Structure 1
Amino acid sequence: MSFQQVIGQMPQEVYERLKTAVELGKWPDGKPLTEEQKATSLQAVMAWQAMHLTNPEHMNIGADGEIVMKSKSELKRQYRDEEEIVRIEINH
């Protein structure tokens, strides 16, 4: 099975775990990633994003393999349209 086929069949839960491991530099059990694990995991995360994400977050890899970055105004517009959960006003 090729790398692309493995990534294509990777469940989102595995992608989320790899993404978190790369971001934190450690596995869920606290064990640090080796440099090889970090590089391989990052490659898998980027490939998964390119294959599966149609609405990239702030910065991701697009379907064409290019880095996709949203502008500040695009991000504000995206989050303005989402339902607000809670807003707390703090009086000093």
Structure 2
Amino acid sequence: MAELFFISKALALQIHRQQIERFGGALGIRDEALLASALGAARQTWHYCGDIFQIAAQYCYSLANQKRPTMDNDQLYDWGINTATQQVSREELADFLKQHCA
């Protein structure tokens, strides 16, 4: 199994920049503390449960919810992620990922 790594601030910003270039939206960080919190939540989830699928679900909830730290404004993206994260629990999302990505 490959060594586990967590998304750093630099990598998160690089991914954000690539997504903006590809799909459009506003580039930038709305709230540095929210970004740090979102990235740290995945690490905390790992230490709490040790499940990589829970980490993936935590990144989804922390980085793509209504209080996301980035300044993108793609309304379709907002609708899709907000709908998914409000109708599915983190545990249900982790179970889905485990079933379809393992």
Same fold (TM over 0.5): no
- TM-score, scaled relative to structure 1: 0.30
Specify the structure having the higher radius of gyration (Cα): 1
- Between structures 1 and 2, the one with greater strand share: 1
- Between structures 1 and 2, the one with greater helix share: 2
